[in-house]
């Protein structure tokens, strides 16, 4: 997708309502849907986090940035996600959290980021995180600088690929809390995006489908 045409679409996107949790549930693993039904919005003392779904130009085409997290002793070890992280006391709000963490993890300066729209918040039971995602744009290709302690790899995907329904698959995954389970996921040429990141991306895909 040509970057200039995407920026035009994003101006329309600002004005429409969020599709909401229904599109999260479409990409939620079966065991996650069951967990969320049991919790029924009554989760206690969640951790808070902000993440950024960042769109930017690369060779005049719109791309989206993902990160592969390092392998560590935690529930999101070695998973693909959006840049972002935990709320800290010095943060003014969760938007500042998302922007600060994005700058720390992939080097995109906060001042260069235009927030298009806050997306629907999402609760992640295994880590007890309530995540606030933001759809954002930078108008020039960033000079990415990876945080070596947190980020194993930057994954740059054409936005057109991210929005292509044919990349929606069923995958067998392993995590610290789920061993060899089948989940709905996006498979982008071998990069498997599932769980919370896929659920957020599902809402983004629906937003674009409503303005196309």
Q: 47 by DSSP, 3-state: which? A: strand
Interhelix angle 195-211/3-13, nearest 10 degrees: 90
Range 51-77 average pLDDT: 87
Residue 64 has pLDDT above 70, yes or no: yes
Residue 37 or 113, more confident: 113
pTM score of the predicted model? 0.92
The helix (H) or strand (E) run that includes residue 9 is: helix 3-13
Range 11-22 average pLDDT: 92
Taking the C-alpha atoms of residue 22 and residue 24, their distance in angstroms, rounded to an integer, is 5
Tokens coding 126? 């295994």
Q: Is 70 exposed, middle or buried (0-12, 13-18, 19+ CB in 10 A)?
A: middle
* Triad 172, 124, 204: Cα angle to 5°: 80
Question: Given this model, what pLDDT does residue 108 score?
Answer: 98
Residue 208 has pLDDT above 60, yes or no: yes
pLDDT band at 139 (very low <50, low <70, confident <90, very high): very high
* Triad 166, 12, 162: Cα angle to 5°: 20
The CATH number that applies at residue 22 is 3.90.79.10
Q: Estimate to the nearest angstrom the gap between the alpha carbon of 175 and the chain centroid.
A: 18
Count of structural domains, the chain: 1
Round the CA-based radius of gyration of the chain to a whole number and report it: 16
Question: Given this model, what pLDDT does residue 35 score?
Answer: 66
Look up the domain containing 97 and give its range: 3-211
Question: Given this model, what pLDDT does residue 168 score?
Answer: 94
Q: Are strands 129-137 and 47-58 parallel, antiparallel or unpaired?
A: parallel
């Amino acid at each position: 997708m040509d970057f200039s045409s995407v920026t035009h679409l994003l101006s329309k996107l600002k004005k429409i309502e969020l599709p909401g949790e229904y599109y999260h549930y479409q990409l939620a693993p079966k065991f996650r849907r069951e967990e969320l039904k049991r919790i029924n919005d009554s989760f206690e003392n969640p951790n808070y986090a902000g993440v950024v779904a960042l769109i930017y130009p690369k060779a005049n085409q719109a791309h989206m940035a993902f990160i592969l997290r390092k392998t560590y002793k935690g529930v999101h070890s070695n998973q693909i996600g959006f840049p972002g992280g935990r709320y800290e006391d010095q943060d003014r709000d969760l938007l500042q959290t998302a922007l600060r963490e994005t700058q720390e993890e992939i080097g995109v300066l906060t001042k260069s980021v235009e927030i298009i729209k806050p997306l629907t918040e999402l609760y992640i039971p295994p880590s007890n995180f309530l995540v606030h995602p933001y759809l954002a744009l930078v108008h020039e290709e960033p000079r990415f600088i990876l945080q070596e302690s947190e980020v194993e790899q930057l994954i740059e995907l054409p936005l057109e690929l991210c929005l292509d329904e044919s990349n929606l698959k069923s995958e067998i995954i392993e995590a610290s809390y789920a061993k060899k389970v089948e989940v709905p996921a996006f498979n982008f040429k071998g990069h498997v995006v599932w769980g919370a990141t896929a659920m957020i991306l599902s809402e983004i895909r629906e937003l674009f489908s409503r303005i196309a």
